[in-house]
Amino acid sequence: MGKDANQNVVGIVGEGGSDEDRIIDWEDGLPSGDDLTPLSLPLVPPALASAFSIPPAELKTMLEVHRASQHTISSLSVRRKPSASSPLNGSLKPLASGGAADDGNCFMVLEAEDPEESPLSETSGRLPELGPEEAVDSSALHGENSVDDQRALKRPRLVWTPQLHKRFVDVIAHLGIKNAVPKTIMQLMNVDGLTRENVASHLQKYRLYLKRMQGFSNEGPSSSDHVFASTTVQQNLQELQQQPRPPSMPMPYNVPTMIPMPIYAIPHHPSHGVVPLNNHQGGMSCHGFDAHNPYGANNWSGSRDEQNTHEGV
């Protein structure tokens, strides 16, 4: 989002109430991410360029766009890193190579518990590996600091954005619910920093959701399930319903045409560590998706605002 994308900049600009008000006003006037031309496209449309005898802009490859964004991000990181007050530290992630991220929707958000303690590597988006010394039980070495040490080693909380969740669902649809196991899903999702544990946890919840939906097939969804229509989810549900079922579990008579899908709220406040990237609020990147499945990144829903219309948790 254009608005979010500028919070990084806003954070550096002055302090004090009046300045903040001006900044908010200024932010409100900014275009949204959907209004902006992707970096991979020429800013001047070809027709307009030819009308004014402007030589056509050289099209940028995704690799070039990626490199440029990495350069921008790394320079921002260098400028801002020392700031202990910055809530955004530890979440800034470059686009990964291979770039399916040009649609701006391929991201996930990490909530840093403490900006200074976030263990994520800025360059890789992965947890740094422990060396033999760090792997030693710190409680034996540091006594009362052990709790803090353990907290520092904790993985930052992953927020499953609608886009990330959609990729998850698409991969399951591609694999089939039977073959959808955490490791395979993780590999096909191909999202930097996403762990098997993240996927396993989300899969657990997703299965519970599907199971719950089976129960709703007669009477429709409950109001507590916030509506997010997805034919992919329906596909997964139908497949699930074709599985052999224990006699105790009643087979639903029909499948609802619109499956409500709970979508998890995206924190917008800077204190959540949400980092805008590439004119959307992304943190981490995903890549290489098109090569793996027919539900490529282009199939992801266009804008977060569009997603938010279904978002209600």
Site for DNA in 124-153 (CB under 7 A): 151
Asked if residue 157 binds DNA (CB under 7 A), the reply is yes
**Does 169 participate in binding DNA (rule CB under 7 A)?**
no
Of 182, 252, 267, 288, the residue at the interface with DNA (CB under 7 A) is 182
Residues between 254 and 273 that touch DNA (CB under 7 A): 262, 264
**Given candidates 22, 81, 142, 183, which one binds DNA under the rule CB under 7 A?**
183
Cβ at position 269, least distance to DNA in Å: 14
Q: What angle do CA 168, 241, 212 make, to 5 degrees?
A: 70
Using CB under 7 A as the binding rule, whether residue 201 contacts DNA is answered as yes
Cα(245)–Cα(190) distance, integer angstroms: 32
Q: Does 121 bind DNA (CB under 7 A)?
A: no
Question: Nearest approach, Cβ of 207 to DNA (angstroms)?
Answer: 6
Among 200, 227, 255, 258, binds DNA (CB under 7 A): 200
Positive or negative: CA dihedral 95, 102, 108, 87 = positive
Q: According to CB under 7 A, which one of 75, 123, 222, 224 is a site residue for DNA?
A: 224
158 touches DNA by CB under 7 A: yes
Applying CB under 7 A, the span of 32-40, 73-81, 166-174, 180-188 interacting with DNA comes to 180-188
With a CB cutoff of 8 Å and minimum separation 6, the contacts of 211 are 240
Cβ-based nearer residue to DNA, 10 or 284: 284
CA-CA-CA-CA dihedral for 112, 117, 121, 125, to nearest 10: -10
As measured in angstroms, the least distance from the Cβ of 235 to DNA is: 18
- 254's CB contacts (< 8 A; 6+ apart) are 217, 218
Least Cα distance to 155 among 109, 113, 116, 191 occurs for: 113
The least CB distance from residue 222 to DNA, in Å, is: 10
- Total residues contacting DNA by CB under 7 A comes to 27
User: Which of residues 67, 126, 155, 310 is near DNA by CB under 7 A?
Assistant: 155
Return residues touching DNA (CB under 7 A). Answer: 113, 151, 154-160, 181-184, 196-198, 200-205, 207, 224, 262, 264, 313
